[in-house]
Amino acid sequence: MPADEPGAVVVGGTAGLGLATARALGGRGPVTVTGRTTERAERAAAEIGDGARAVAVDLARPDGIAASLSGVDNVRHLVIAAMERDRNPVRDYDVTSASRAVTLKLVGYTEVVHALASRMTEDGSIVLLGGLAANRPHRGSATMTTVNGGISALVRSLATELAPIRANAVHPGLVGDSPHWAKETELCEALRSRLPTGSLVTTDDVVDAVLFLLTNRSVNGTNLVVDGGESMT
């Protein structure tokens, strides 16, 4: 593989949907994965193989993001999947937890793009991970509903400001085989039984959507819902 070949960066690539996406991108060119710690990022990079690189970056501390990513260059595909969950009912609101989750997903995601934009190829593309909570609020989802709604708006700003670089978002429903939900068997079964498809969204379904948005030359500024039709129920 030539050293100067443009590559992919997956921020939040040490677990779940980010790691699965990084694995899928692994056979296609150089990949850099990030997590909060070097140790976890290196473990993921070793799992991906093919010379994948590891970088530690904390999106909840946006002031440090540019320095953490200063060694990352020549980016064609940027996927940002990092998240910290914040189940936070409004009548019982925890400001510290909410501030951290909002900072991570809105300021942190934007600062990653700011830090890397000038090092992206003109045919480059960005995919942000949002989530169905943007349109399907539930008790405790105020923060996740807000930030994922923000992601929908952010991709349109990015696509406008960074053109010709494209920007899109994937908004998954509950991903039944993702590490967080796989153990919630009762909840998963209750959801599965009311989905039009009769089956939960899988990690592969989400990765497939991310790869489509990364590579299709004409899809830009869109928000792709991957929910098995849950939004219609």
Ligand X SMILES: NC(=O)c1ccc[n+]([C@@H]2O[C@H](COP(=O)([O-])OP(=O)(O)OC[C@H]3O[C@@H](n4cnc5c(N)ncnc54)[C@H](OP(=O)(O)O)[C@@H]3O)[C@@H](O)[C@H]2O)c1
Distance CA 151, CA 147 (A): 6
Amino acid occupying residue 171: H
Contacts of 208 (CB under 8 A, 6+ apart): none
Nearer to ligand X, 162 or 210 (CB): 210
The site for ligand X, by CB under 6 A, has a size of 29
Tell me how far, at minimum, the Cβ of 29 lies from ligand X, in Å: 20
Phi, psi angles (nearest 5°) of residue 204:
-60, -40
CA-wise closest residue to 143 among 131, 161, 154, 153: 131
Q: Which of 7, 30, 124, 131 binds ligand X (CB under 6 A)?
A: 131
Nearer to ligand X, 56 or 121 (CB): 56
Q: Which of residues 91-110 bind ligand X (CB under 6 A)?
A: 104
Q: Could you say whether residue 112 binds ligand X (CB under 6 A)?
A: no
DSSP E strands in 130-216: the ranges are 166-172
Tell me how far, at minimum, the Cβ of 106 lies from ligand X, in Å: 12
Which region among 15-23, 46-54, 68-76, 154-162 touches ligand X (by CB under 6 A)?
15-23
Nearer to ligand X, 104 or 162 (CB): 104
Q: Could you say whether residue 175 binds ligand X (CB under 6 A)?
A: yes
The residue whose Cβ lies closest to ligand X is: 16
CA-wise closest residue to 175 among 157, 193, 188, 165: 188
Contacts of 104 (CB under 8 A, 6+ apart): 59, 60, 82, 83, 84
DSSP codes joined into one string, 86-128:
----GGG--HHHHHHHHIIIIIIHHHHHHHHHTTEEEEEEEEE
Tell me how far, at minimum, the Cβ of 92 lies from ligand X, in Å: 21
Tell me how far, at minimum, the Cβ of 123 lies from ligand X, in Å: 25
Tell me how far, at minimum, the Cβ of 220 lies from ligand X, in Å: 20
Q: Could you say whether residue 15 binds ligand X (CB under 6 A)?
A: yes
* Contact present, 148 and 134 (Cβ < 8 Å): yes
Binding residues (CB under 6 A) for ligand X: these are: 12-18, 35-36, 40, 57-60, 81-84, 104, 129, 131-132, 172, 174-175, 178-181
